Amino acid sequence: MALTSAEISTIVSASTMVIGLVEKYGAEAWTTIQQAVETSLSSDGPTDQQIADMYAKCVADNQAIQDS
């Protein structure tokens, strides 16, 4: 399976964004991103509770960033 230039560009762009977030906000940003991706990849999608939990984690992470 060969990737198109658009697909490669999308992968590079997403990777750059994730690396930038980790550099700016620390390793905790990677954990949040990883959990969000893993949840969204499940065969039946995230549950309402998983979405609420992820939102609460993002709010808490944002507050910690703002307080630092």
The tens digit of pLDDT for each residue in 9-18 reads 998 998 898 8
Q: Residue 25: CB partners within 8 Å, gap ≥ 6?
A: 61, 65
How large a percentage of the chain has pLDDT more than 70?
99
Taking only the tens place, the pLDDT of each residue in 20-42 is 888 887 878 888 888 878 877 77
